[in-house]
Amino acid sequence: MLALLEAAREAVERDLDRPLDLATLGREIGLSPYHLQRTFQRVFGSTPHALRRERRLLLAESLLESGLSIAEASARAGFASRSSFGRLFRQRFGLTPSQVGRRR
């Protein structure tokens, strides 16, 4: 079971710009979406969606620090909405994306 969950975690962290579909991921590893969600959270301490959001935010932070624009960083990190990106970014880091870009 742990090997299946590791495979699921790798899939969650891969291709951050694509939407996460628990039904498809569950089929790929042989678990129902509900069982995948529940077991994943128990083992890794986070839901697949929350883990993916965290990875996307960390990627966006890195891209902003390297000098990319907010629009480019949010798109490359897989955020479809700049407003939700800005809100999530501020919740996670305590700064707006533009404040991070100015720190460089």
Contact status, residue 93 vs residue 57, Cβ threshold 8 Å: yes
Separation between Cα atoms, residue 39 and residue 92, nearest integer Å = 25
**pLDDT at residue 67 in the model:** 92
pTM above 0.85, yes or no: yes
Is the pLDDT reported for residue 25 higher than 70?
yes
Separation between Cα atoms, residue 44 and residue 42, nearest integer Å = 6
What domains sit in the chain, N to C, each tagged with a CATH number? 2-48 (1.10.10), 51-103 (1.10.10.60)
**pLDDT at residue 46 in the model:** 95
Q: Choose between 64 and 20: higher pLDDT.
A: 64
CA atoms within 13 A on the CB side of 4: 14
Give the pLDDT confidence of 1-14 residue by residue, as tens digits.
889 899 999 999 98
Separation between Cα atoms, residue 84 and residue 3, nearest integer Å = 33
